[in-house]
Amino acid sequence: MKQSLDLNTFAKALTDKGYDGYFFTQAAYPGKLKESIGSFLEAFRNCTDKPVFPDTLLLKTYLEWNGEDKPKVECNMWVKWENETFDVHKMNIERKDRYGHLMKKSELTNLTTEKVPVVKEALAKVLDTPKQPLFPQKRRFRM
């Protein structure tokens, strides 16, 4: 059973999972999650902005940022929005190089807010972890 959450509960649920950085809602409205969505909702109520997709908000954040000249990990979330309640239903995690070229991508669909992975799990989906050999070869000089 899917359960949509009000803005405060939604923001707390994602913050508890480690998504505590800055967000963009609909490619604008920068700020912490609650403030970013709140700014968009205010603009929507004033008829100065509207969602690109009906009843869906796009949230963007960085899961890893080490500077302009280093690779970064971006996270895009598609959030179902009805009657002032929110629920994540799709998520893309992308690792890009310093020039913005895609290095690795992971797409998660059929999500709910409670099924969203914690940040460490999300990062593990796109970060390359070096694989160690099962039996390390010993280098010896043989005669």
Query: Could you give the angle at which helices 33-45 and 7-16 cross, rounded to 10 degrees?
Result: 150
Q: What pLDDT sits at residue 5?
A: 87
Q: Which of 38, 13, 12, 23 is nearest to 112 (CA)?
A: 13
Q: Which of 20, 15, 13, 133 is nearest to 85 (CA)?
A: 13
In Å, what is the CA distance from 143 to each residue of 79, 140?
66, 10
Q: What pLDDT sits at residue 1?
A: 42
Q: What pLDDT sits at residue 131?
A: 59
What would the two tokens of residue 101 be? Answer: 């070229």
Q: What pLDDT sits at residue 133?
A: 58
Q: Are strands 72-82 and 56-64 parallel, antiparallel or unpaired?
A: antiparallel
CA distance 89 to 77: 8
pTM for this prediction:
0.83
Classified as helix, coil or strand, 60 is strand
Residue numbers of the chain with a pLDDT score lower than 50: 1
